[in-house]
Structure 1
Amino acid sequence: MPRKRVNPLEPAKKRKRSGCDRCRARKVRCDEQKPTCGQCHAKGFDCSTSIKLKWEQDYTSAGRAFGRTGLWSKNAADKSSASSPCIHVTEDEVSWIQIPLISSYSFINATVGNVEQLTTLENLALEATPALDVIRTNDRDDTSSTASLSPWLSARQPVFLPRQHSIPSALPMLPDLPSPMHSNLLSYYLEKICPLTVPSSVNKSPFANLILPFSMSSSPAVLDALLALAACHRSKKDIAFRSTSLRLGDNVLRTLRGRLSTENPLKVAMDPGTLVIMMILCQYEIINECDKRWVVHLKGARDLIRVRRHAQLNLMAGPSSNELVEFTEKYFAFQDVIGRTACGEEPIFGSDFWTSQGEDTDAWLGCSAGLVSILCEITELSRQHRSQPGVCLLPEFQFQAASLERRLCSLRQRVFDEDDNLLQLSAELKRLAAELYLHCALNGATPAMPLVVGHVQQILRLVSVLLEHGVLAGLSWPLFVAAVELDPMEDFEWAEKQDLPDEVPNYARPFVLYALDSLGRSNAIANIVKTRSVIERVWLNRSYDDFSSTQAEGLDKGQNDWERYIAPLCGGLSLA
């Protein structure tokens, strides 16, 4: 009930609005004594008075009453005529915004530390690589494994026994192995891993028709390497196979290191099994997402191949015609080419592994040898520009860049089976990515240019088609090239929403994250974690530069877009 005045004849006391801040917050009467009112003096509080300005427009726009307007009045007439701050609209005037689908893979986090690293180019170059390293939870104390060629010896991992009920039965055509576990792993290699290495089921994977038969007839170390690869791939979804992968891989690595240290180096180099083991170990590291360790096997294979070729020249034997050796050499050379497109580092394998006249599409490469040869030349020309930015103004450089562009535009990649549409799409996807890479690395193209936007749109469409048909091989590099050249200020629609399944985003950035998540969930043979980390970092760098009023310190004036944003982050990145 309302309080009654002691003396009804006295006029009502009006509420004062000039009291101190403490009394107003406590809602008690302030005697307004200065410098300290009675209430604050009695309680021992600091007494202060401030003025807070309030604007009626701010309250009205927020749908709130300004002061006591419209709340109450002693006069009924005034109360009925008081205006309400609420705004009433009809259903026809309301338009509801559709809530977008948010998935777990769509979240990109950036911290204050990320922004601080972008303030100078010097900090970026020093801190970008370790910031992107993927540290395995069980290998945090493994600091010397790269130098010792052993990523497994210092791992601390509890032993798990694989669950027998979750392992498919072994294929009847496989030979007897020491244990059912080995037979099941070999079945997994043949049924699950080999199909992931080619973009089309029409063509058999060389990992099935070359590597598998050789492992049956060669040393046990080659077969153990295949089993370790299968266990490593399977451990991505079932950690119970992690201990098996470590144990088998350690045995293979011990055997390889023992041969290299005790046997005749020429004999080891001439043995095809040595290259096969190093290739499988390289693939193991890529699947295991050990960022730079796969490069150790790549460099070791280069040295063995050099010894092998030098011995053949001395013996006047001519080049090797062994199909297995040719494939292992092609595997290492292709890994080197695709990896260097991103980082622009010195080549490990030369361009002599590729012929510019090869227009036949290779089922494992997903493109022709001619396209890979053009990529080699683009990368070498880009490396010259990176070391000497002013070289791009020379007529000779411009002529070479224009010549490579003409060769790419006129390149026709033949597919023997005309019905093999997936292989044709894969070859065209890589050709478009090569064109985009050329424009950015040699011609200074930027994400805002219509030429770049058009190429990105075509690449994303082909990636979407191949993903829809279950193709996982060879998508990492084209997807990476398109993703790092997205304009941070405008995320365009690459397709109409009604033309896509509900779960497929039609905007560029969400689709890139969706595609990477699809590759990761399907256990594609690629380093998806590192690839996404680099893409996110490139997006962050571009956004920072767009909103920053100052340019990065120490940035060379002649750097193009690719050299500024992508190359410094891509050391040791596998994209093949």
Structure 2
Amino acid sequence: MQRTQRANGDARRRTGCWPCKDMHVRCTEERPQCARCKRLGVQCEYGMRLLWQDDAAQRGICLGREGTWSKKGKPKAGKPKAETRASPPYFIKTTKEPIFLHTSYRHFGSQSEDDQDEEDGEVEEEEEEQQQHLYPIPTPALSPFGALPTSEAYLLDYFISGICPNCSLSPTHNPYLRYITPMTLVYPPLHNAVISIAATERQLLNDRRFDKQAWWYKSQALKGLQETIASGSISWPFIATVLMLCFGDIADGCNDSWRTHLRGGLTLINQISADCTESQMLRKFCLMYFVAHDIMGHTAGSSSLESISYTWLEDDSMEEIDPLMGCSRGLLDIINRISAISSNVERICSSRALTAEETQHMDQSRSQLELALRTLRQHVPSTTSNPNLALVAEAKRTTALLYLYDRFCSFSLSSSDPDPSEATSRHLQRLIDSLVSQLEPLPVTATLLWPLFVLANASPDNEQHRRFVLERLDNMLKTRNLGSVRLARRLVERKFRSWDLQIDESGTKDGLHLMREKKASSGSGRALRGKCISLA
């Protein structure tokens, strides 16, 4: 077919549709569909198309009006040479997301840190409601509890399959599955407490179907305990219910009620006789749970909490690692002594200066604690095959050494050694590096909350350590959005923010100078108002 010639004076038009332009055919420009596109059944498109410079350079075509047809007979520009093509934009290559502490004007004013944290917590709750996809909702297996109502069967199954496996480092030693779960079928208050815990953790993972069940079942559990007290028949299921209420309060937000349940459990645990092997094992489990959470609560709390000494059972091994807590009873005793001695010294220093005799006694105590930590031996139980258990225990021993320096550096070393040696600073840095290397290969579990918290306090100026701590805390929250982890993260952010706002322009400092200034700048920032966090 002979191509139709353009009439004289009929100028080239650029307002045709894109299908006709692509085929270099003159468009009749009917709207919304030209005659050619209508005849061929082609989608007719008008408008503007953007051609990016980088795309044009990669395709080797001209950009804009460069090289366009001209009536004056100027030669059409060819493809740009490789060296003249637009160079691709330069981006800083990074494999990790940036860290934002969200420092606002409130942190520069006279508002107290607790009020700032409360407002930050409200903002976090609003963000969680708006971004419900942040925490994935796991789907538990089909429930075998057909005799229970649907919601109860679902929540009990979630407790067994979704919560209990994450509470122990050993699949063969899990008291929640061995002791707690069977008793839920025979003791209604414990059953209600367990269902309340499952509903609370589903709620924390943005599953809003069980908001009412969480409160209702908890109230029924408390009511059942009151009836048991009135009847005078207190037994091990009663202690287990108190333990699970403490468990639920820590997961929900670490309100003061968890310490009330903990103290009540410690008071009653020695008043009930263990008449069989199962009762003795249950006593070991309850005593370890209450003591460990009480000791770890002092490591994140203020000096107003009084530390007490604990008596273990006669057949308890002080060197055997407990699969629930990831450390031995001997290490817990040393940590408790560190908290008790340092808290006592802090109370004295708040009112007066230490005497020479008190300073000497304190330095001796610190040296004895450090020696005890370095010579401590921890061994894995013979019934446990998890290779990570020994690694977790060793990481917690290193953490205890850092915790010792953190609690004593502000007053002990400042009085006896105002200018610490370079060797001491290097030793402290080696401890920090050793702890990071020990934590890196371990899977992220709630057992590592205390080592991460102490690491954040010991090295607030190191950007890599900040990222290391915050990323692992975020991974914990994605798995189980526990209240203790949320509050610990808020305290860690407070430490980092306090360091950023008060840091000297001369640069960061190393070793013990860093820990002293951090301690002086944060002061009472170790605790949140109305909260006592358990880092166990």
Given that 1:279 and 1:297 are in contact with CA atoms closer than 8 Å, whether structure 2 keeps it comes out as no
**In structure 2, which of residues 399, 403, 413 is the aligned counterpart of residue 433 of structure 1?**
399
Distance between the aligned counterparts of 2:138 and 2:486, measured in 1?
26
Q: Structure 1 unaligned segments of length 5 or more: list them.
A: 1-88, 139-156, 158-164, 492-506, 550-557
Distance between the aligned counterparts of 2:520 and 2:175, measured in 1?
35
Given that 1:228 and 1:246 are in contact with CA atoms closer than 8 Å, whether structure 2 keeps it comes out as yes
C-alpha displacement at 1:566, in angstroms? 6.0
C-alpha displacement at 1:518, in angstroms? 0.6
**In structure 2, which of residues 418, 421, 431 is the aligned counterpart of residue 455 of structure 1?**
431
Residue type matched to 1:336 in 2?
D
**In structure 1, which of residues 297, 313, 335 is the aligned counterpart of residue 258 of structure 2?**
297
Distance between the aligned counterparts of 2:168 and 2:434, measured in 1?
22
C-alpha displacement at 1:420, in angstroms? 2.8
Distance between the aligned counterparts of 2:181 and 2:262, measured in 1?
20
Report the counterpart of residue 277 of structure 1 in structure 2.
Answer: 241
Alignment of 1:56-67 (within 5 A): none
**In structure 2, which of residues 108, 113, 118 is the aligned counterpart of residue 115 of structure 1?**
108
Given that 1:473 and 1:524 are in contact with CA atoms closer than 8 Å, whether structure 2 keeps it comes out as no
1:374 aligns to 2:344 (yes or no): no
Residue type matched to 2:173 in 1?
K
User: Are the structure 2 counterparts of residues 410 and 386 from structure 1 closer, same or farther at C-alpha, using a change threshold of 3 Å?
Assistant: same
TM-score (norm 2): 0.67
1:239 aligns to 2:208 (yes or no): yes
1:188 aligns to 2:152 (yes or no): no
Q: Structure 2 unaligned segments of length 5 or more: list them.
A: 1-82, 130-136, 414-419, 507-514
CA RMSD of aligned residues (A): 3.8
1:179 aligns to 2:152 (yes or no): no
Distance between the aligned counterparts of 2:101 and 2:283, measured in 1?
43
Distance between the aligned counterparts of 1:336 and 1:392, measured in 2?
31
Count of aligned pairs: 410
Deviates more, 1:386-395 or 1:424-433: 386-395
C-alpha offsets along residues 535-562 of structure 1, whole Å, 9 cap, x if unaligned? 111111122221489xxxxxxxx98854
Given that 1:194 and 1:207 are in contact with CA atoms closer than 8 Å, whether structure 2 keeps it comes out as yes
TM-score (norm 1): 0.63
Report the counterpart of residue 290 of structure 2 in structure 1.
Answer: 332
Given that 1:129 and 1:569 are in contact with CA atoms closer than 8 Å, whether structure 2 keeps it comes out as no
Deviates more, 1:375-384 or 1:355-364: 355-364
SS in 2 for 1:570: coil
Distance between the aligned counterparts of 1:455 and 1:392, measured in 2?
31
Given that 1:367 and 1:426 are in contact with CA atoms closer than 8 Å, whether structure 2 keeps it comes out as yes
Distance between the aligned counterparts of 2:283 and 2:501, measured in 1?
47
Distance between the aligned counterparts of 2:214 and 2:326, measured in 1?
29
Given that 2:242 and 2:265 are in contact with CA atoms closer than 8 Å, whether structure 1 keeps it comes out as no
Distance between the aligned counterparts of 2:215 and 2:329, measured in 1?
35
Alignment of 1:25-36 (within 5 A): none
Identity %: 21
User: Are the structure 2 counterparts of residues 518 and 305 from structure 1 closer, same or farther at C-alpha, using a change threshold of 3 Å?
Assistant: closer
**In structure 2, which of residues 481, 494, 497 is the aligned counterpart of residue 537 of structure 1?**
494
User: Are the structure 2 counterparts of residues 408 and 285 from structure 1 closer, same or farther at C-alpha, using a change threshold of 3 Å?
Assistant: same
C-alpha displacement at 1:186, in angstroms? 1.8
Distance between the aligned counterparts of 1:135 and 1:282, measured in 2?
27
1:520 aligns to 2:477 (yes or no): yes
SS in 2 for 1:412: coil
**In structure 2, which of residues 375, 380, 383 is the aligned counterpart of residue 410 of structure 1?**
375
**In structure 1, which of residues 463, 466, 486 is the aligned counterpart of residue 459 of structure 2?**
486
C-alpha displacement at 1:406, in angstroms? 0.6
Report the counterpart of residue 53 of structure 1 in structure 2.
Answer: none
User: Are the structure 2 counterparts of residues 472 and 252 from structure 1 closer, same or farther at C-alpha, using a change threshold of 3 Å?
Assistant: same
Report the counterpart of residue 12 of structure 2 in structure 1.
Answer: none
User: Are the structure 2 counterparts of residues 480 and 280 from structure 1 closer, same or farther at C-alpha, using a change threshold of 3 Å?
Assistant: same
Distance between the aligned counterparts of 1:323 and 1:453, measured in 2?
41
Distance between the aligned counterparts of 2:120 and 2:138, measured in 1?
34
Distance between the aligned counterparts of 1:535 and 1:169, measured in 2?
36
C-alpha displacement at 1:333, in angstroms? 1.7
SS in 2 for 1:543: helix
